[in-house]
Structure 1
Amino acid sequence: MLKKFSGVLAITLGLSSCAAYEQGKLIDIEDSNAYVWQKYMNEQEFNQLEVGMSYLDVVNTAKGIGTLQKEGIYIWQDENRLTQAYEIHFQNDQLIEKKVIELRGHSTR
């Protein structure tokens, strides 16, 4: 019983340290931007995204984290246009769909 518990504990601690490491990488990517608006995505970065990329790959490309809308769906605001954003769908940490969306109304920036 103790052996089983220690195995589960080791797996849990391993997953926790992996999550903390990945969170640290995300923060490092955003901190590398000289300007706040650079954490958003632009059209050129959007066009570089390919099916199968991981969330971390997309964050590296955009130089910023997306806003989680619901499970597996993130939004990145456009760096230049207040009326446009990019919706990226992930499944099992792989990009499965990307699209440009038009925004209407009040900007939150």
Structure 2
Amino acid sequence: MVLFTRKGTAFKLNNLLNIRWPIEIFFRQTKNNLGINKYQVRSSKAIDRILLLASLTYTYCLIEKDANDSFGKGIILRRNQVNINVYCKYLYLIFLIYR
């Protein structure tokens, strides 16, 4: 869909949307699978921590060797293999580093 008639504007808009699209996918997947939309925080430090934890968890699931760069497949595989105690230790270490 072309919104503007000036030469090159539609091309620029398309480039901006292509850059923004992976960000939109990240937020949708973290809201749906990691529950980032359910946190109720007020301080900027808490917001930074939640976004950091979501980003680390997202990356952790994405780099699963059998996930083939798919977060959805990676989170299923990670949920099936991760021991809850190891995961809690992982989160605790992250909180200690960034408090």
Structure possessing the higher relative contact order (Cα contacts under 8 Å, 6 or more residues apart): 1
Going by fraction, where is strand more abundant, 1 or 2?
1
Please tell me the TM-score bracket, short chain as reference.
0.3 to 0.5
Q: TM-score, normalised by structure 2?
A: 0.36
Q: TM-score, normalised by structure 1?
A: 0.34
